Amino acid sequence: MRCRRMLYIYCTSMIVINNTEAQKPIYRNSAYALYPDSVVQGNFIAKATSSTQINSNYQSPANEFVSPELNFKFSINRKDNEMPSGVNHQFNCVATNGGCETPVIKFGTRFTDNKKIPPDTYLAPDTKFTIKVDMREVLAAFKQAGYFTTFNGDKIYAADFKELYVAGASDPMMWDFDNLHQRPQLELKDPDADGIYETSMILNETKKQKELAAAWKLTKDISRFPQYHSGSNMPDAIYNMALEEMENAVEPDSTFRTGKEWAGVWTRDISYSIILSMAYLQPKVAKNSLLKKVKNGRIIQDTGTGGAYPNSTDRIVWAIAAWELYKATGDRDWLEQAYTIIKNSIDDDIANAQDKVTGMMRGESSFLDWREQTYPKWMQPADIFESECLGTNAVHYKANMVLSEMAGLLNKAVEVKKYALNANRIKDGVNKYLWMPDKGYYAQYLYGNNFKRASPKSESLGEALSVLFGIADNTKQQSVISKTPVTSFGLPCIFPQIMDIPPYHNNAVWPFVQSYWAQAAAKAGNEKSVLESISAIYRAAALFVTNKENFVIANGDYKGTVINSSNMLWSISGNIGLVHKIIFGIEFQSDGLLFHPFVPEALKGKRSLTNFTFRNAILNIELDGFGNKIQSFFVDGKLQPVAFIPANITGTHTIKIILENNKPGGETNQVENHISLATPLAEIKVNVISWPAINGAAQYLVLKNGKEFLKTNETHIQLIESDYAEYQVIAKDAQGYESFASQPVVYGKNKPFLIEAESIVSKTDFTYEGFSGNGFIEISKHKNTIVQIPVMIMEDGEYVISFKYANGNGPTNTENKCGIRTLSEGKTFLGTVIFPQRGVNEWSNWGFSNPVKLSLKKGSHVITLSLEPANENMNFEINQAMLDYISFMRIE
């Protein structure tokens, strides 16, 4: 019976394929094809039988042909602290009697399985896997010394030992150390207290129920929203499915739900969604959602590394969403309310996060806020704060421009100029420090320690926003769209990918990013890129019969990313925006609607968009032809000199747009996906810098103070001593792609001058361990809000000041208790110092704040560390750290 059913499905699929092949494809590449009523990817087919139904036979291949070779390592307190990055245990799980078990593996000693895997052997479904690790040496160190020293010299104190996990590459294991606790089976325990910890889990687990629906059929009334008719079933059905899922994404309190698996309102998610299409489709829900992310008259940064703000500063995308909402509604009260919120937030950001040298804003990459998914593992939260990222700066630039425009409408002349000037400072910094002429697109971010370097990876959302917001000039716009790497299944978030990091931001495509890219491609006049982007989004929506959040680059599958969700708001919003903002070219302005349609020739023909609400008017729009140039624009049958609808229009109107049938052309940089090499681990002994060989490296670059110093095929070089120098190593592969730069190591005559914090302020009574001197001090909203630091400088120069601190108020990857303080001398502002969270209740886990550069003259100085109004974090109650000592280092 089962065989007969499978034969029926196969034959039916073949009939559909044959019928589909008779049609001319809208788009085809080596991976899939999009037709007017179907999507075909190998044997998988999605068929739109009408504008209200899609059937799909897609099955995830994620559980097929899974290798039995398992790579993993152990983790104390959810940190990568057992062995160097890229060094893992390897065990061949060839199951017997439904399971396999490791020998007892000594913590910190690499295990390599010598058993050979028989040919054509794969990991059996539902294999029970048991792991055992010997922790006796670690526990003995806790007992004898009070701490255990890891491979890199870090100390883990006995009081801070909370938990032991296993991280790895085979599901349910994962390499996301920060979130290992979300999978309880990954925690190893020692119930008999013999020092041998173990756990068991099911590998290659088969699901009892199919994870995707086989079909979508419209069940909700979506008639109050704009109705789209293209003459083809698949585009119309995908559009209607997005409208229905949009309805599903509204909570009972009339705020947006981020996704099926993501409850609640998240600042960046709803903001990017509102910009894409929700501002005008759901204005009341958009407003409610935006206001839910405001506290104390400021925008909430609700997620981010090390305690959110200011490690992450992309909350400011809220401002662009608020502006889009005003343009859609013309609500003057909203304009005034939003203006105050945005101004307060931007003023804080200027104080806390703006680099006065580059003009750019600090804070981790916008939306790419999952540490090792886009940063080298050596970077601590304070290092990530110091990075100056493309996407984050794009939204800061636009937010400042928005505030300037708002000020103009509110007759605030001083603010118009002030924030426009600041926007241009950011824009100039992006073009000076992040543009890569040799590649023709922008770099991912500046990173490093006291001397930063641009990471040459592309960062796709940032590239798109730089085009859309006008950071890139016309020449750069065309270059960015034609030269940024894209793959068969779509636009990767970053390129190339990071080794040994599972797909999520790394090694994945996000449809909402692809939607912004499509809009940027339309602005740059690149027809090929527009069509590729629309097709990439339609492929996923049709085959998965939902708007997923992300999918894997290698095979376009929704499984295999660390986390995914159906009915994802920003994917939905971007999908709808393809029709409204690209095909029909609707651009909201403060005084009306501007039209600049872009219809690729493959989508040529007549189409309509009816019941489109704009303020007090309803527009029924007809569009004919292809290209991106308007031949004629009619309103109620009358030819208009410009394709513009004023904001004061009322009633129902008919618009007809005829395109010139021009061919904009354009090229794209289609590449095979690529994984960059592992990050080198450099160290200096005496006067030699060395590093272990990196597998696949064709050459190494050695950096000195952020600039290329020399190229070598060796794994060590001799150094000549100077006053101060920071060295890093980069591995390059045969294709010229670079690894991340290694963690900076310092060599030079200058030594840091240390001031024990308890020598200037009374020490606290807390009994934490691992500090230097006679104790440490507490800073909080109630204690030591002002700390005066007297220091004698022996010679003029450029110095950096940093603080050794502890903050056990939360994990390294989220929450909202980052400590923030202002550094000044007299009335002169010197910089912002942050004290990110370093682990839950890990108060003996000491690390360094971000460094602040100072120009100091010889003589005595009093440096002030103070809690200022701008230094509010997102918790608003706890703003605390322990300070061990203050370090002054002369670097120039």
Per DSSP bridges, beta strands 644-646 and 452-455 are: unpaired
The span from the CA of 59 to the CA of 800, in Å, is: 56
CB distance 229 to 50 below 8 Å: no
Other Cβ atoms less than 10 A from the Cβ of 672: the count is 8
Cα–Cα distance measured from residue 89 to residue 652, given in angstroms and rounded to the nearest whole number: 68
Burial class (CB in 10 A: 0-12, 13-18, 19+), 544: buried
Short-list 833, 836, 879, 869, CA closest to 348: 869
Question: Of 892, 868, 890, which Cα lies nearest the Cα of 879?
Answer: 868
Is the peptide bond preceding residue 172 cis, with omega within 30 degrees of 0? yes
Distances in whole angstroms, Cα of residue 369 to Cα of each of 104, 354, 461: 36, 19, 13
Tokens, residue 597: 């349609």
Q: Name the strands in the sheet holding 69-76, side by side, starting at the edge strand that comes first in the sequence.
A: 89-92, 69-76, 164-168
Q: Tell me how far apart the terminal alpha carbons of the chain are, to the nearest angstrom.
A: 80
- Report the distance separating Cα 770 and Cα 307, nearest Å: 23
For the CA atoms of the chain, what is the radius of gyration?
Answer: 28
Q: Which of 487, 507, 495 is nearest to 463 (CA)?
A: 495
Residue type, 177: F
Residues 6+ apart with CB under 8 A from 3: none
Regions in the chain scoring below 70 on pLDDT: 1-22, 207-211
Q: Strand 683-685 relative to strand 494-495: parallel, antiparallel, unpaired?
A: unpaired
Task: Give the pLDDT score at 19.
Answer: 55
Q: Which residues pair with 880 in a beta bridge?
A: none
| pLDDT tens digits along 833-887 | 999 999 999 999 999 999 999 999 999 999 999 999 999 999 999 999 999 999 9
Residue 376, preceding peptide bond in cis (omega within 30° of 0): no
Q: Mapping DSSP to helix (H, G, I), strand (E, B) and coil, where does residue 216 land?
A: strand
Query: Which pLDDT belongs to residue 15?
Result: 44
Taking alpha carbons only, the member of 351, 379, 378 closest to residue 365 is: 379
Structure tokens at 668: 């794209």
For residue 255, the SS3 value is coil
Say what the pLDDT of residue 1 is.
Answer: 34
pLDDT at residue number 435: 98
The two structure tokens encoding residue 422: 């600041």
Helix (H) or strand (E) holding 145: helix 136-145
Separation CA 250–CA 399 (nearest Å)? 26
CB burial string 339-371: b at 16+ within 10 A, e below = bebbbbbbbbbbbbbbbeebbbbbbbbbbbbbb
Are 445 and 457 in contact by the 8 Å Cβ rule? The answer is: no
Helix (H) or strand (E) holding 866: strand 859-866
Instruction: Give the phi and the psi of residue 381 in degrees, each rounded to 5.
Output: -50, -40
- Closest Cα partner for 882 from 787, 816, 805? 805
Within 8 A by CB and 6+ apart from 848, the residues are: 380, 382, 802, 803, 804, 805, 887
Q: How far is CA 432 from the centre of its chain?
A: 23
> Nearest to residue 521, comparing CAs of 548, 497, 490?
490
C-alpha to C-alpha distance for 858 and 20, rounded to whole angstroms? 79
Tell me how far apart the alpha carbons of residues 648 and 616 are, in angstroms, rounded to a whole number.
8
**Cβ atoms within 10 Å, residue 693:** 11
- Residues 333 and 328: their CA atoms lie apart, in Å, by 14
The string of DSSP codes covering 636-675 is TTEE-SSSEEETT--EEEEEEEEE---------EE----B
Helical (H) or strand (E) element with 403: helix 390-409
What is d(CA 158, CA 143) in angstroms, rounded to the nearest whole number?
A: 8
Structure confidence at residue 85 (pLDDT): 77
CB 604 within 8 Å of CB 661: yes
Minimal CA–CA distance to 381: which of 406, 398, 364, 401? Answer: 364
Q: Which residues pair with 73 in a beta bridge?
A: 167
Sign of the Cα torsion 553, 555, 556, 560 reads: negative
CA torsion through residues 573, 575, 576, 580, sign: positive
In whole angstroms, give the CA distance from residue 587 to residue 644.
Answer: 10
Q: Is the Cβ–Cβ distance between 663 and 527 less than 8 Å?
A: yes
Provide the residue count of the chain: 892
Three-state secondary-structure class, residue 523: helix
Are the beta carbons of 56 and 217 closer than 8 angstroms? no
